[in-house]
Structure 1
Amino acid sequence: MVRAIRGAIQVDGNDRDAVLAGTTELMSEVMERNNLTTDDVISVIFTATPDLTAEFPALAARKLGFHDVPLLCASEIDVPGALPRVVRLMAHVATDRPRQEIQHVYLRGATALRVDIAQ
C-alpha cells in the first residue's frame, strides 16, 4: 500500500548548513517515527519557502542514503504573512500501516502549520 507522509521544519536561516541540518533532522524524524527504511520510500517532494535559496533540501536526503529514491525540490508559493524559512516534504512510502498510524512530523516553528496533525 502507498501512503503519503507530510512534514515541515523551520530552519535557522538561509545558509547551506541550516538548510541541510534542518532537512536532515526532518527526514530522520519521519523515517524513525514511521519505522521506515530507504527501501520503503518511493519518492519525496521537498518545497522551500522563497526565502530559502542557499541549497537544495534533497541534498540532505542524498547524504542520508537516498541515492536511488526520486527526489524533487520546488519553491513554496509566496503567500503574504506565511511562516518564513520552512522546508516541507511529502514522502510517498510503501507500508502496511493504516492511515491513522502514519505519523506526520512538524518540527521547531513549523509545528504552528498543522497543530491538528503535528506529533
Structure 2
Amino acid sequence: MSDQNKILLEEREMPTQWYNILADLPVPMPPPLHPGTHEPATAEDFGPLFPMALIEQEMTGDRYVDIPGEVLDVYKLWRPTPLFRARRLERQLDTPAKIFYKYEGVSPAGSHKPNTAVPQAYY
C-alpha cells in the first residue's frame, strides 16, 4: 500500500474532458418533460433557454465531454488542485474504501465555485 497522502498533477496532466455519470447509470434517467405537452422534451424545446452547446452536453449519452480550450486556459490559472487521501477518516470509519478529497482553496475565489462559473460564463 502506498503511503502517499497528497497527489499533485502537473498542468499537462489536467483532465481535458468532463465525465458524464449518466453514461454509466444502470437504468437511464427519465427524460425531462415538456411542461405544455408532458411529452419528452427535445433539444429544440430548450433552445430559447440555453445555448445549443449546453443542450447537447445535457442530452448526450457520451461518457466524456470535451472541455473547451478557452475554459482549460482559465482553469490553468489555479488548477490542478491538490487531491488528498483521508486515511484517518478511513480508519475512523473502519472502511476498506479509499476516501479522497480535493482542496479547492487555491482558486481565486478560495472555493470550488469557479469550477462551474467559468464554463457558465463561457457558454
Same fold (TM over 0.5): no
Bucket of the pairwise TM-score, normalised by the shorter protein: under 0.3
- Flag the structure with higher strand content: 1
Q: Which of structures 1 and 2 has the larger relative contact order (alpha carbons within 8 angstroms, sep 6+)?
A: 1
Q: Which protein shows a greater Rg?
A: 2
Question: Which TM-score applies when normalising by structure 2?
Answer: 0.27
